[in-house]
Structure 1
Amino acid sequence: MTGGLYHTPPEVARDLIAEINHLRAERHAVILAHNYEYGEIQDLADFVGDSLGMAQFAAQSAAPILVVCGVHFMAETSAILSPEKMVLIPDPEAGCSLAASITAEQLRAWKAEHPGAVVVSYVNTTAEVKAETDYCCTSGNAERVIRAIPEDRKILFLPDMFLGSYLRQTTGRDMEIWAGECHVHAAIKPAMVDQQRAARPHADLLIHPECGCVTSTMHYLATGKISREGTHILSTEGMIRHAAQSPFREFVVATEIGVLHRMRKMNPDKQFFPIDDSISCPYMKQITLEKIRDSLRDLTHQVTVEPELANRARTAIERMIAL
């Protein structure tokens, strides 16, 4: 159990997993885990994926209790889409620096400066911000959402400035971009890309569009400083699909290190290297086996969203899912 992908010693994990499985069956609960969670949590989850996949699974599940192993906005999204279910988060303090970078009040003021603009919010936002939004998106479907909006409409994109910059360059749309960032992805710098490119010239380079290196990487691609062959800007789910299909045997992955666990598990004959071992989200890593056990046992840390607010936020999320 190395590389920051596991947290709990095997002998301790076995007992905790046995307790969790007993409680899961007793409660008729399902466990959802994000790609950035510890390896042992991904291994025991009923579903592992990105924010969109988690939301879709939660909405389709018949289970009365959903345990969301991710950050708080993900549990909120499940509560919005599944108001009849009990949604639990093992640690209510598992927040998100990107979601915290804009408030509903700030968004309302920004909208007032651009009347008639279409608001597109990355799913990494609070329920209050989603309620002020026209469309939600994930990194996986953001470009599709942008292209679905009539070309004569200005777009306000929030809160991630790196993903927004990437979308503006790829679509050529008239977009205003909020100056927010995920502090983990923003820590991925062009120098890391250069170092890994030099160290592993034959590896496929997979870059998440939230990364601080995206704008410079796109410039490098345009000028030929980085070869387009073997360089891919992809969502986490896009990375996972690409790695499974690619003839490459080595991959450098520029996103949170938790996704390496699923990649290695699905492709045991290939090698995956983090862009840097430091790219780990402390909020995601607040979720542990002990906290999952306690949450299921005591039904603690329930996440709810006030019905009127949930109804407004649900429209933007459902538009995202429809696309």
Structure 2
Amino acid sequence: MQFIDQAEIQVQAGDGGDGLVAFRREKYVPTGGPSGGNGGRGGSVFLKAVQNLQTLLDFQYNHIFKADNGARGGPNNRTGAAGRDRVIEVPCGTMIYNADTNELLGDLVEPEQTFCVARGGKGGLGNQHFLSNHNRAPEKALPGLPGDVRSLRLELKLLAEVGIIGLPNAGKSTLIAALSAARPKIANYPFTTLVPNLGVVRKPSGDGTVFADIPGLIEGAHLGVGLGHDFLRHVERTRLLLHLIDATGEDPISDYQTIQQELGAYGRGLADRPQILALNKIDAVEPDELIALVERLQDLTQSAVFQISAVTRAGLDALLRKIWQELEQLEQLEVDEAVAPLSSESRDSLLA
């Protein structure tokens, strides 16, 4: 399946139906009066987040989406039928921008979350609304109002709790394949992975946690070099970063610094995101060299360095325990931050 994470579309809501000019002509009702009904409202266009979509591929060739127009008003004060709404399904994590002004209109994160991007026009008034003492037989009705027309830019940011980052050929795809049921392309050359890969890793409690393998990060990625500029946006959604370093690389220390510089240059708080550092491919490095490398990384980062081999699965259990621990701490921190304002408001109300 082709991975598309940006698309531009045009949405057009339905026009409101016209009001009707009509008069009652019934037996034994000599002064029937006006009876033209109102036009029906036009259909609106909605975007709806669904879980069964992972890409914006559906919008690569289909760019225009229209809702139905409202029907014209009928005689005997009958209102015209409303136009049918148009509901467009998008993946969870889709951000909606006004393509003309670049304004963020909505962010669909939760499944079944719906956002109206174009509202249908109101139906026109029939001549019954213009009856007055001065005009007993109005022959005036209003046309329906046009529906909204908008050009939108859709941008998908994958929803994953853990983002696996690192230089090409660091073993990110091998790791996500070892931890989950995902089966990405794996080969012994850089840029094997051309699109982000998602994998669900089971916690000891049985819940699933989504890991994302973010490809294409090299020096200059934030400027568009390689593929990193296309996929760095997906790191923004993650709560925790797993920084993978190739222990067999020419200069693992420089590799670590390169990724950190790219995160800082990209901005949006990525450099401040909690990180876990893992040294991969330890099975291919001499023990003495490995010890020296780990000491250098610990001195540089002032944090623990996990030693793993995604191929042999060495060290993966300890790494996962650390990941679950960090995620629990982040969840507790979010709960505490959400409760703190409520507690202060309750305290102020009691003092009042």
What TM-score does the superposition give when structure 1 sets the normalisation length? 0.26
Higher RCO (C-alpha under 8 Å, 6+ residues apart): 1
Richer in helix (by share): 1
TM-score, normalised to structure 2, is 0.24
